[in-house]
Structure 1
């Protein structure tokens, strides 16, 4: 394991400049300092995901000014070679059950099939795919829920809602806890797409066409969900 200073450099390497105003706010907060110390320790002792360089990858491939939609899930995939720093996105060719259900709803909604497991194409169009918790120990879902990430997500949402045109999509109970913060914004919500909750609201939710409908209403370019 590299020393803490080098590890931290890898964590923030290539962060887009537009996000530094946010990170300058949180980096001095006690909870964020504790997060960094905790995950450094966790990653040195246990197998955790995503890789260190990918924990903040969403901030490396987006600009604040380009955001149109914020989709909030739960926590990263906890099996090997899955989590890539983008919520629901998968870094290998083996699809996860949650992503399979997302693509099933996508096909049922707009009639088209997405052909790869990486969701960078959506992110680069302004779809900010984030989890409420940003790291996880292997095979232990929600294992990092109580180390401060919820405070980080709370501050991130406070930062994001300054853009009154953003559409927020809340998937699952963990995401819906932030609903009260979003009262003046467009909100879409459903159950989480995991097999445990897919049929409790995500199935038939038509979130993809609904997102584009709302974007069209406010004269913002729609998302091309399938190329």
Structure 2
């Protein structure tokens, strides 16, 4: 059981960590490390997102995998340390922020302020990945665990926004109770997806998903998010 998680998540962790799939997942990851295989992010960051109290969450952004290259993954979806080059999807996120809210693009990709100051829950569906191999751990058990986490938020929180970018995130958010929460769907902000109009969602570019999220929060008596990075 991780020691850094906030106590509000204990029921989720106690429930899931008693199941065989978690034991098998953690054994698999330990074996990979023993075999000298590099896993991202570092072990201390696997459960970083769960340091946020459940009741603080205003908005959830669902990613798929941690970044697969050295020094990028930091336990928060889409975020990279300040020392690293801004990845293409995050650069497009910044473009839409500029278009939607007239925020100038930051010079780095560290989204820690969103997490720490604005209560944005930056969740990847897989909390680890093998270096250089996208999707390598998703079906080893993480997808089951993070689905349980999303359902935990769905049941125990209220008046939160799920930003679902792309078909994978749409599926992850398919069971959200829309009487209690909002789900804002767009295409994925990747270079291939940002302009793509989907059957069930608009293109990410020009979607105004950030101002729409704030409109929902304000309508529920919650504070709007300050989307600045710095």
Global fold match (TM > 0.5): yes
User: SS at 1:128's partner residue?
Assistant: strand
**1:74, 1:172 within 8 Å by CA — same for their partners in 2?**
no
Residue 79 of structure 1, aligned match among 65, 69, 72: 69
Greater displacement, 194-203 / 82-91: 194-203
Aligned length: 216
Partner Cα distance (1:101, 1:41) in 2: 37
Residue 28 of structure 1, aligned match among 9, 13, 18: 18
Partner Cα distance (2:67, 2:120) in 1: 19
Give the alignment of 1:136-215 within 5 angstroms.
136-162=129-155, 163-184=157-178, 185-200=181-196, 201-215=203-217
Residue 100 of structure 1, aligned match among 91, 100, 106: 91
Partner Cα distance (2:72, 2:78) in 1: 9
1:110 alignment partner in structure 2: 101
What TM-score comes out, normalization by structure 2 length? 0.88
Greater displacement, 91-100 / 46-55: 91-100
- 2:122 maps to 1:120: no
Any stretches of 5+ residues in structure 2 without a counterpart? 197-202
For residues 88-130 of structure 1, the C-alpha deviation after alignment (integer angstroms, 9 at most, x for no partner) is 0002331111111111111111111253321111112211111
Larger helix fraction of residues: 1
Q: Using a 3 Å threshold, how does the CA distance of structure 1 residues 42 and 204 change in structure 2: closer, same or farther?
A: farther
**2:151, 2:176 within 8 Å by CA — same for their partners in 1?**
no
User: SS at 1:153's partner residue?
Assistant: helix
**2:65, 2:135 within 8 Å by CA — same for their partners in 1?**
yes
Q: Using a 3 Å threshold, how does the CA distance of structure 1 residues 120 and 114 change in structure 2: closer, same or farther?
A: farther
Partner Cα distance (2:175, 2:158) in 1: 12
User: SS at 2:80's partner residue?
Assistant: coil
Partner Cα distance (1:99, 1:44) in 2: 33
Q: Which runs of 4+ in 1 moved over 4 A?
A: none
**1:19, 1:59 within 8 Å by CA — same for their partners in 2?**
yes
Q: Using a 3 Å threshold, how does the CA distance of structure 1 residues 42 and 173 change in structure 2: closer, same or farther?
A: farther
Partner Cα distance (1:64, 1:135) in 2: 22
For residues 58-105 of structure 1, the C-alpha deviation after alignment (integer angstroms, 9 at most, x for no partner) is 112x11110111111111110111010000000233111111111111
Q: Using a 3 Å threshold, how does the CA distance of structure 1 residues 13 and 113 change in structure 2: closer, same or farther?
A: farther
User: SS at 2:195's partner residue?
Assistant: helix
Partner Cα distance (2:125, 2:207) in 1: 21
**2:127, 2:142 within 8 Å by CA — same for their partners in 1?**
yes
Any stretches of 5+ residues in structure 1 without a counterpart? 1-7
